[in-house]
């Protein structure tokens, strides 16, 4: 009999050991932070999952920012991360919170909260032990003791100058500006009528070019080592002069194209030579890093000056009208 009891005890211990060796299924606990709230109040939904370290659980994703189940009026304002609440050996407790609100009065029965469970080849849905339920209430109005008043009309406030002073000042400035523009336009129109619509003749091209040359020469560019700027300025002045003096687009032409075009204009040979020396020297300075001496720098300026003088348009002076003397008839003396 003793041996039978001993064998029975050993069998019970083996069964208990085998049951304890089996992995424990994760448990899910879900609860609201309050049993009832007022409309518009914020409250939390806390989810805790107790599981083995090697087990994997996934929390649901809610569409359109609303809590699932039968309640579509409970809105999700924020979703917290998954945090580790505590660890105990191989057991670990995870927590996740949702910040919620609701604007419809009702008794919301959401049911059990689902969590996806993954372990090796097992994929299952775990549900919380308790169902979720919350009351969303509104404040009641006692019409017996509370008097309901109509909406008050807007208060009448006296008009103050400070409220419209800025608009008035802006209007006066705008009117003054318009008056000034009208005055200038009328003055210009009257000036044209008094002058008979005649325009002041433009300055001749050679006068403009010589003035620009003198201004460039007075800057003393090559004396301060800025020879490239000096030669670029001289060639630009000559190109602009040729563009206004002759029907050529000298600003867009190469040096050789300019020389060929000027030859067809029947310029004097010495003028062609001056222009050729200027353009070739300038090209060497700008593109071949050639450094002329002081005499060459001054020669380029004088050649440009004389080239403009030699090729400028000759103004034909109109001969002054001859004034015939007034003939006075000699007074004949009456014969006595």
Q: What is the DSSP letter of 288?
A: S
Last residue of a domain, one of 88, 104, 137: 137
| Domain match, 210 and 129 both | no
pLDDT at 19: 43
Please count the structural domains in the chain: 2
pLDDT tens for 241-260 read 999 888 888 888 898 988 88
**Cα torsion angle, 290, 294, 299, 305, sign:** positive
Do you know the residue count of the chain? 336
Q: Are residues 124 and 209 in the same domain?
A: no
pLDDT the model gives residue 332? 46
Q: Which domain holds residue 294?
A: 205-311
Q: Which of 137, 165, 196 is the last residue of a domain?
A: 137
Half-sphere exposure (Cβ direction) of 62: Cα atoms closer than 13 Å = 21
pTM over 0.85: no
Q: Which residues make Cβ contacts (< 8 Å) with residue 271, sequence separation at least 6?
A: 262, 307, 310, 311
- Would you say residue 191 lies in a domain? no
Select from 295, 174, 290, 277 the least CA-distant residue to 235: 277
Say what the pLDDT of residue 236 is.
92
70 in a structural domain: yes
- Residues contacting 150, CB < 8 A, separation 6+: none
Is residue 192 included in any domain, yes or no? no
Whole-angstrom Cα distance, residue 271 to residue 308? 9
Helix, strand and coil content of the chain, in percent to the nearest 5, comes to 45, 20, 35
Query: Where is 98: in which H helix or E strand?
Result: strand 91-102
Cα–Cα distance, 91 to 78 (Å, whole number): 28
Q: Which long-range contacts (CB under 8 A, 24 or more apart) does 221-225 make?
A: 222/292, 222/294, 222/297
Question: In terms of Cα–Cα distance, which of 47, 53, 52, 51 is closest to 29?
Answer: 47
Q: Considering the domain boundaries, does residue 214 fall inside one? A: yes
**Domain with 57 in it: what CATH number?**
2.60.40.10
What is the C-alpha separation between 254 and 245, in angstroms, rounded? 18
pLDDT < 50: residue spans in the chain: 1-4, 10, 14-21, 70, 197, 320-323, 325-326, 328-336
Give yes or no: residues 129 and 216 share one domain. Answer: no
HSE value, Cβ hemisphere, 13 Å, CA-based, for 321? 3
Count of C-beta atoms within a 10 Å radius of residue 232: 16
Instruction: Looking at the structure, tell me whether residues 133 and 210 fall in a common domain.
Output: no
- Could you read off the pLDDT of 141-152 as tens digits, one per residue? 776 777 777 888
pLDDT, residue 262, reads 86
Domain boundary among 137, 168, 195: 137
Of residues 282, 269, 278, 283, the one with CA closest to residue 231: 282
Write down the residue that tokens 């002045």 correspond to: 237
pLDDT score of 199: 55
């Amino acid at each position: 009999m003793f041996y039978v009891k001993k064998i029975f005890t050993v069998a019970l211990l083996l069964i208990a050991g085998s049951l304890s060796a089996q992995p424990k299924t994760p448990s899910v606990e879900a609860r609201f932070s309050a049993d009832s709230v007022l409309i518009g109040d914020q409250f939390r939904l806390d989810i805790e999952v107790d599981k083995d370290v090697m087990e994997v659980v996934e929390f649901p994703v809610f569409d359109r920012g609303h809590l699932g189940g039968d309640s579509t009026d409970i809105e999700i304002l924020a979703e917290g991360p998954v945090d580790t609440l505590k660890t105990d050996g191989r057991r670990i407790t995870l927590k996740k919170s949702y910040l919620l609100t609701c604007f419809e009065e009702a008794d919301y029965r959401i049911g059990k909260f689902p969590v996806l469970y993954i372990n090796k080849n097992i994929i299952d849905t775990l549900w919380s032990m308790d169902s979720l339920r919350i009351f969303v209430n509104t404040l009641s109005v006692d019409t017996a003791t509370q008097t309901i008043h109509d909406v008050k009309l807007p208060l009448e406030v006296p008009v103050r100058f400070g409220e419209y002073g800025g608009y008035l000042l802006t209007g006066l400035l705008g009117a003054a500006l318009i008056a000034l523009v009208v005055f200038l336009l009328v003055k210009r129109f009257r000036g044209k009528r008094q002058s008979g619509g005649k325009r002041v003749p433009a300055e001749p091209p050679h006068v403009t070019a010589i003035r620009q040359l003198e201004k460039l020469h007075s800057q003393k560019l090559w004396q301060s080592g800025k020879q490239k700027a000096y030669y670029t300025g001289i060639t630009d002045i000559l190109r602009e002069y040729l563009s206004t003096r002759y029907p050529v687009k000298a600003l867009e032409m190469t040096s050789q194209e300019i020389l060929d075009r000027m030859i067809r204009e029947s310029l004097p040979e010495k003028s062609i030579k001056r222009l050729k020396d200027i353009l070739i020297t300038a090209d060497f300075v700008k593109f071949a890093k050639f450094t002329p001496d002081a005499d060459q720098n001054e020669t380029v300026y004088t050649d440009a000056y004389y080239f403009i003088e030699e090729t400028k348009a000759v103004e034909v002076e109109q001969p002054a009208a001859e004034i015939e003397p007034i003939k006075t008839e000699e007074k004949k003396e009456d014969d006595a």
